[in-house]
Amino acid sequence: MSAGVEWQVEDGPVDYPAAVAAMERRVAAIRAGTAPELVWLLEHPPLYTAGTSARAADLLAPMRFPVYKTGRGGQFTYHGPGQRIAYVMLDLKRRGPDIRCYVNALEEWIIRTLGRFNIRGERRRGRVGIWVDRGGGREDKIAAIGVRVSRWVTLHGLALNVDPELEHFRGIVPCGIADANLGVTSLLALGIPVTMPEVDAALRATFGEVFEADASPLACRATEPAASAV
């Protein structure tokens, strides 16, 4: 099948196991050539996910929300209402079989999306995701990245904090980072009260700037692309 990237947007929260099962079915279809690549925008009910490098000690409140082990890279993270999840299913055989370059492209996508709202998102050496400098030595994470690649087709993707309940992150050590000067933030906490449709429009507009619609090779833009984790 020859087609552009399909976009799907969910109106209500999607159960995490159901989302993972749907991703796996779609990835199999992309590999088989029976479905186009997909960007799936959604929210989850409150939950924690444990990546392949998660440490049990980093789950501080195991009874607070459901906890799911997942095949993506990284450690513990939180998902919930007010957080825009973008599950990205692309064929890297066509776009360039380079996982670090792909993660770099996801970072660039978030940075450009935040720029639409006059927020400077930044990469940090040794820390996955996108960060915002709050001044005085404090930095907050505004977006997490976690990917899995199955025979060169991608699963999972990114989580951008639009207006989630930030207190819910206290049930974990987010991504294994316990530094008192490093926290989490959101567009709302930064004084940007945008709607989810506005965020979706920005994501869609900037996607084409980073991931060419004709599936041409990805271009790595960062000097230190992060590993495939959260």
Q: Looking at the annotation, which residues are catalytic? A: 175
Encoded amino acid at 69, one letter: K
Residue 132 CA to residue 203 CA, distance in Å, equals 18
Report residue 103 as tokens. Answer: 């993660």
For the chain, give the DSSP string: -----EEEE-SS---HHHHHHHHHHHHHHHHHTSS--EEEEE---SEEEE-TT--GGGBS-TTTS-EEE-SSSSSEEEE-TTEEEEEEE-BHHHH-S-HHHHHHHHHHHHHHHHHTTT---EEETTEEEEEEEEETTEEEEEEEEEEEEETTEEEEEEEEESS--GGGGGGB-GGG---TTEEE--TTTTT----HHHHHHHHHHHHHHHS-TT-PPP----SSPPPS--
CA 101, chain centre distance (Å): 15
